[in-house]
Every structure is written in C-alpha cells, then in structure tokens.
Structure 1
Amino acid sequence: MVLFPSLVNGLARTVSYKKGKDHERDGGRKAVQELVKEARKNDLLLSSSGIVKSAKSNNFASVFSRKGQKGVNQDSLVIWEEFGCQEDMIFCGIFDGHGPWGHYVAKRVRKSVPAFLLCKWQDSVAEASLDLTFKLETDRNLHKFHIWKQSYMKACAAIDQDLKQQKEIDSFRSGTTALTIIKQGEDLIIANLGDSRAVLATTSEDGTLISLQLTTDMKPNLPEEAARIEQSRGRVFCLEDEPGVYRVWMPNGKTPGLALSRAFGDYCVKDFGVISVPDVTQRKLISKDQFVILATDGVWDVISNQEAVEIVSSTPYKEKAAQRLVECAVRQWKHKKRGIAMDDMSAVCLYFHSCTSHASTPKPLSS
C-alpha cells in the first residue's frame, strides 16, 4: 500500500499495487466496480432525473431530462457525489447521443467514463514521481491539473476503442457527445467533447449575477476543427435547406452529415477528422462563484447563457432548478422553432454552497 503526498491526497487516499500490468489493471477495474456499487447503495450515484446531496459536502445537484419529438430520449446523465470515495469531490456528466443507435451509445459512455477515468487517473498518479517538491502553490496545482488532463485523454481514447469493440452496439454511424466536470474542493476540471455546454454563474463586482461560458461548442465550422477535418479529407458544408448548420461529410459528400467535430463513436468519419479527444480546462472557484449548469445543445439552441443563469437562480427550490430550466427551454422552442421537431433536453445544475443567495434579482425572461 502506497500513500501519496499532499499534491494528490485529496484525489485518493491510497492505491494498491500488484506485480504485473495485467494484475494492476484488473485490480483497478475491480476496485472501481466496488466503488460504483457502494455509491449506488448510499444514493450517491444518480443516472436519471432527481437530486444528489451528500451530508459530507456543500454540493447540491439538480438533474432533469426530457424526451423531445424525435423518438427515444438519446440524452444520458450521471452524478457521482463523493467520487472515488473522496468526500470533497463530485463528478457530473451529460451525454447527447445521435444516430440510430445514439441512445445505446450515450448510455454505454455514461457508464464507462467515470470508471475508465478513475482507472486512468490511478495509472497517471502511479507514473508521476511520488517525491516531487514544489516551491509554489501554482506549480502544485498545475501538476495536479496535468494528471487529470492526461487521465482524461487516456480514458477517452480507451472508451472510444471499447465502444468500437461492442458487437451489440452499432456505432459506425451513431455516437454521443460527452461533457463532464469534476469538482474537488475549489478546483473545477472541465472536459468537453461535443456541443453540450457548461456555464458558470458568478457574481460581478457590482453584485450582479452573470454567466461565464466554460466550454466551446465543438462545431465543424470552427477554424481549427474545420482545418483538421479538411486535412483528413473530410468535408464541411451546409445543406441548402439548413443555412448556417455546418456538418461533416465523407469525401463523397453524401454521409453522414454530422453536426459535430468531436464525438465518441461515429467511426465512419473517424478517418476524416472527427476525433474523440476532449478539450480539458480548469477553473479555480472563488466565493463569488455560485453554481454551474451543464446542458445539452437543445437547451442552448433557444436559451442564452445569461437567461439560463437567471432561470436557475430565480427558482425557489433548488431541487427543481434543472427541471425548470428544461421546461423554459421547451416553451422557448415552441415559440422560436415552430414547426421543427423538438430536441431532447437535459440539464444538470450543480450548486457550490449549501445556502445560495444573490445580491440582485434576476430579470425575467422576455416572452
């Protein structure tokens, strides 16, 4: 049994080592499986609409998902409070499937990400020096973030390979986005793969609650994304009846018309520039930061970042925050996108403080 230094004490209490990589890998997987069972048993792991509240932290999560008008709900969510048995850590994830098998892909990835991430994090920690010393707190924080980033990169690569090998799921022309965050103490790690979005609610100097977008919507027309796709012989263009909606096409220009530049699955275009590499960033939370919203693109298609923050902050009961945000988006969709089939909509609202108060009264949404 090896005890890690202070730089990772908050991430793991202990990690067991066995001789041989296969033994270590199997042992890590079994350990994670046990952690999942324990979390479910203690109502700390949620994968449907509801709430998650731990008695050992100030975190509070409100979760809600609603089926659209395109068939089965292809959105999936997961909240894991006390992630990896750490009292000060919570994991939140939201996944938006697409294609004929999108709902199966989203569910598979929802199940895989937390488990794969914990295993890869353990590997990354094991590879790091255990006797590192840092003169500055900044150096320590950067190294901790680097470990998480490398863990995410390895986990996502492994998940995409694992998904490809699942014979019961046809992910050749189906896939899913993946937006996840880990909050550990005052550290927020964000990993984005696709076009779901994370928005932070924070208080400005004059006491007004404002929105801050934490992620970039990974669309094919973004300069860097388009350049990668085109260098890989993929094509990016809009259809005549969808002006402004850029999609990824194979060199023949016929399929699949994917409105994303990054996703799990979608193996028909993985050789043409679509990747499963997440954009991993971090934020050091401060006392003025109140909550973060994760939502699938259906919500953001009709609700602005600031409107979302105002809706959540003005909800009388935090338990209903995610549901109210989605319901407001549904009403706005009917108003702004009349005649267009409504998308599935899902949201996670993670509050950072047990008691949330705001210095200003949010402006009401315009009708």
Structure 2
Amino acid sequence: MGHLSSMFNGLAKSLAIKKGRNSERCSGREAAEAMAKEAKKNEFLLCSSGTVSVDGSNNFASVFSKRGKKGINQDCCIVWEEFGCQEDTIFCGIFDGHGPWGHFVAKRVRESMPPCLLCNWQETLSQTSLDLDPDSGDADVEAEKMQNCFNIWKHSYLKTCAAIDRELEQNRKIDSFFSGTTALSIVRQGELIVIANVGDSRAVLATTSDDGSLVPIQLTVDFKPNLPRKSIPNQLIISGEF
C-alpha cells in the first residue's frame, strides 16, 4: 500500500502543478481518473460484455448483459483488474438504472464511483496509522489488520456515496429526481472482500459442496420498500481463501 500511496501522491501533485490548481482533493480525483483511463487502455478495465484476464494473475473475470423486453437496457457494469495499480486488488460493480433517466444515472455512477472511491481510499489510508507487524503471524494481529483494512474501505465508501449523490443532484444534464440506480460493488484486496450495496442487485458466491457440486451463497440483502429495518445489515466483511 505504501507503493500506491507514493505513486498516487506523485501523480496528484503532477496534475496540480500542470493545471495550476491548489486543491489536493481535486487533483487526487483527477489522478484516480487518469489511472482508470490507463487501466482501460491496458485492457485491465471492462465496461461491457467480455472477459478480463491479466497475464500472471490468478483472477479471471467475465461480464455479460442481456437486454430485456422493457425497452432501453439500463444495466451498467464494470470490472477493474489491479484496481489502483494494486496487483492483489479488483473492483467489480453492477448498476441497474430505473426511471426515465435511469440509464444515464447508472452510466454516470459507473464512471464516477471507482475513481472517487480510489481517491477517498487513498486519502483515508494516508490519515490512518497501521502500526502492525505484517510478519508476526499472530492470529489476533492478523484479525486486527483485516478489520483496520475493512474500516478504511468502509469509511471510503461512505464518503464516495455521499459525493456521488451530490454530483447527481448538481448535474443539470441528468434528471435524477424521479430516476436512479442500484449500486452493488465489490472490492477484493488479497483475502479481504468488501461489499457495498444499495438496491436490489444481488451478489452471489459460488462455492462447492462435499460432493463437488456448485452451491450458491447469497452475499447481499435486496433493499426493497417492504424490507424490515432489522433485516438490513450494517456491514459485510468476508475473509479467507477463494
């Protein structure tokens, strides 16, 4: 994470000097957007049906979207391998628009969320102390390290969602008053998986039973108007070998 921090800060400062801006936050967002463009250029980023398989990586991602019978396909998706230039990290997102402007909202959120999240994650990481010995091998230390990493992502997600809400509200080209989108995203960083979900898009983990057959495990709760409040989870963290 230290390598990304120095590289990210260097790119942000370079952009600030080039454009004559004093806002580090603005430069950080532009740095993240520049990373997204570079990832797409190098085929690490996928926004339509297809596959992503980076040389030397154990990850393989596939995306497929099929238009329904209701008219415009308002589904948007994204897979970003080596998210933020981190070899052990991948970002996945699904956004299902609704309402007359739903396809525009979904597309906008797909474009804005990953770089905004990356920028907020870097900012939160730079303000957080992780004074833990990574080579200690102690189970309690490992658990604390995992929890700290999760808290950083959680805080970053909360800031990102609030920022995107403001962007949509202020965007004069998109009427988001009667339109919106679901937003299901997953960040896998090493053995840590963080899931953020709004709406009724669903994340399902495929695992194997004792007899070798595939078994689906639903990881998210569908957010609907009739959902009891006590059924809504505050957070979801999964760690282990996959």
TM-score (norm 1): 0.58
Q: Which of 9, 19, 35 pairs up with 1:16?
A: 9
Distance of 1:10 and 1:90 partners within structure 2: 17
Counterparts in 2 of 1:10 and 1:89: CA distance versus 1, 3 Å: farther
In the aligned structure 1, how far is the partner of 2:199 from the partner of 2:36?
26
Deviation, 1:213, is 0.8
The residue aligned with 2:114 is 114
Point out the more displaced range, 111-120 or 207-216. 207-216
Worse-matched range after superposition: 202-211 or 157-166: 202-211
Q: Does 1:284 align with 2:219?
A: no
SS of residue in 2 equivalent to 1:66: coil
Aligned to 1:133: 132
Q: C-alpha displacement at 1:27, in angstroms?
A: 2.0
SS at match of 1:180: strand
For residues 206 and 69 of structure 1, do their structure 2 counterparts lie closer, same or farther at Cα, with a shift above 3 Å needed? Answer: closer
Measured after TM superposition, the shift of residue 279 of structure 1 is 5.7
Q: Report how far residue 202 of structure 1 moved.
A: 1.3
Q: Deviations for 1:139-194, whole angstroms, at most 9, x for unmatched residues?
A: 01100000000000110010011111100000000000000111122221111111
Contact (CA 8 Å) 1:193, 1:279: kept in 2 or not?
A: no
Q: Deviations over 1:308-360 (max 9, x none)?
A: xxxxxxxxxxxxxxxxxxxxxxxxxxxxxxxxxxxxxxxxxxxxxxxxxxxxx
Whether the 8 Å contact between 2:5 and 2:126 is mirrored in structure 1 is no
Q: 1:56 to 1:31 in 2, by over 3 A?
A: farther
- Contact conserved, 1:56 with 1:87, CA < 8 A, in 2? no
Matches of 1:43 and 1:225, distance apart in 2: 42
Q: Which residue of 2 aligns with 1:44?
A: 44
* Long gaps (5+) in structure 2: 134-139
- Relative to structure 1, is the Cα distance of residues 128 and 62 closer, same or farther in structure 2, using a 3 angstrom cutoff? same
TM-superposed deviation, 1:23: 2.6
2:216 is equivalent to residue 216 of structure 1: no
Structure 2 CA distance, aligned partners of 1:184 and 1:13? 19
Give the AA of the match of 1:16: N
The Cα of 1:45 is off from its aligned counterpart by 0.9
Task: Please say if residues 192 and 279 of structure 1, whose CA atoms lie closer than 8 Å, have aligned partners that are also in contact.
Answer: no
Residue 181 to residue 34, structure 1, CA distance change in 2 (3 Å): same
- 1:56 Cα shift? 3.1
Aligned residue for 1:144, secondary structure, equals helix
Give distance in 1, aligned partners of 2:172 and 2:65.
28
Is the CA contact 2:8–2:31 (under 8 Å) kept in the aligned structure 1? no
1:191 and 2:196 are equivalent in the alignment? yes
Query: Cα gap change, 1:162/1:129 in structure 2, threshold over 3 Å: closer, same or farther?
Result: same
Unaligned ranges ≥5, structure 1: 1-7, 227-260, 262-277, 290-367
TM-score (norm 2): 0.86
1:4 aligns with none
Structure 1 residue 66 displacement after superposition: 1.2
CA distance in 1, matches of 2:3, 2:212: 32
Is the 1:105–1:175 Cα contact (8 Å) retained in structure 2?
Answer: yes
CA pair 59-279 structure 1, distance change in 2 beyond 3 A: farther
CA shift at 1:13, angstroms?
6.0
Q: Secondary structure at the match of 2:37?
A: helix
- Corresponding residue for residue 343 of structure 1: none
**Deviation readout 1:245-295 (Å, 9 max, x if unpaired):** xxxxxxxxxxxxxxxx9xxxxxxxxxxxxxxxx964221132xx4xxxxxx
Question: Can you list the C-alpha shifts for 1:27-68, whole angstroms capped at 9, x where unaligned?
Answer: 212211220121111111111111111113111111111111
- Give the % identical residues: 56
Distance 2:22 2:153 in 1: 22
**Structure 2 residue 86 is the aligned partner of structure 1 residue 86:** yes
- Count the aligned residue pairs: 228
Deviation at 1:209, TM superposition (A): 2.5
* 1:1-367 correspondence runs (5 A): 8-9=1-2, 12=5, 14-16=7-9, 23-129=23-129, 132-133=131-132, 136-224=141-229, 280-286=235-241, 289=242
Change in 2 beyond 3 A, CA 1:279/1:170: farther
CA distance in 1, matches of 2:144, 2:113: 28
